[in-house]
Structure 1
């Protein structure tokens, strides 16, 4: 029988850890601070940041949301990042940015010790050492989900769909490390026969962003399915997994919504708590 992997209890567990650290900081007359920068009026970006603002209020974190015009130049954005980084414990640049801006260039202007999203080249590169400080929030959310529900990864075939610095790259590295010992394969838009790989997966993690892309025929009996993707069709949002008949094959499945999403926001503030504590 399919077990649903709800994100709320995982998020609650992370929040309790973060809140304890934030309270310790406040006892020393300092209020934890996070800055978020959005460029333009992408509805999804504004929604994501509003959720982060709500979580900040819940955890007692001061939250500074800087909203920039969509035509903001690369130079002005970089100058702002450099200035604001001096006045905060954690800074995020909400992606995606408008097409005329280089996301990687701007992100790498964030000093590693306030890069709460863990997306600078420095922090991503540190994942290849044994002393990394931060894991990108979405990747951390998936790992915490697996840990919370005690889903075994050792010698399991894990297939990750989609390639990004936010999800697939960090996850592939960490899940194949000695901490998890999984056999990881990353598939993408140029993979000619995705089903061939997915039907062999003990654990399938989808971060494509294409509505109902994978139906029950893609999965082997007893698979664990984690849906990270999000897309909008006719004003409605969907995950990557077509859930019709999915309970007939899946042993464990994260729902959309209510799965990885709630954990991701809490994971961001868990990262902030680590930065506050170590800085």
Structure 2
């Protein structure tokens, strides 16, 4: 592809900043960055590869910010991050043979279900509750599974991690958000390594957007830590609904094709 013009670089930086802000609180940053790169004329495969590079900066920045305030111990979370990275790498490597249409069909409805869960369940707060799964099983089963999904497809990964931490691990909303970011970083690393080996990462674009992601995540994570569940819950609900609508609005979505819309 040809070099991008200055105004497109500015556009991509701004999109990455906004994505970093939203993603550090509720996930769903890819809903902004992937369409932005496609609008800028970047081919789909290079968009996916470059998105993994710039996402590393956002998830890494948010992880550092939450760790500095004591909401997550990065060292203790390393085993789960390694499993998320393994899942992300396997997902990216197997993306060509996984039935993508199945994921596209199911994802909007999963996201709507997550939005309804967080929006309608009254007792979800920043207070930890009793866990339904041991940390060992959570890390061994749930984490690599979501990491694999991130490598194969990606949108909504942060929301799925959030749902797992709240419903299975019993974490409060803010603690779940803090731990989600580092796992998302791990799955991004796994996917990025595979895409980089395939040579589909645009480094100049990815690093520029990474700078925007890093700055946006710093601002967003501080905003989340200041306001806690009262801002994370509604933003998570809005993000899930918006992502579901965006996916269903695509004329190429299998559901629309099946319905002849």
Q: If the TM-score is normalised by the length of the shorter chain, which range does it land in?
A: under 0.3
Structure showing greater relative contact order (alpha-carbon pairs closer than 8 Å, 6 or more residues apart): 2
- Using structure 1 for the length normalisation, give the TM-score: 0.26
What TM-score comes out, normalization by structure 2 length? 0.27
Structure number with larger C-alpha Rg: 1
Higher strand share: 1
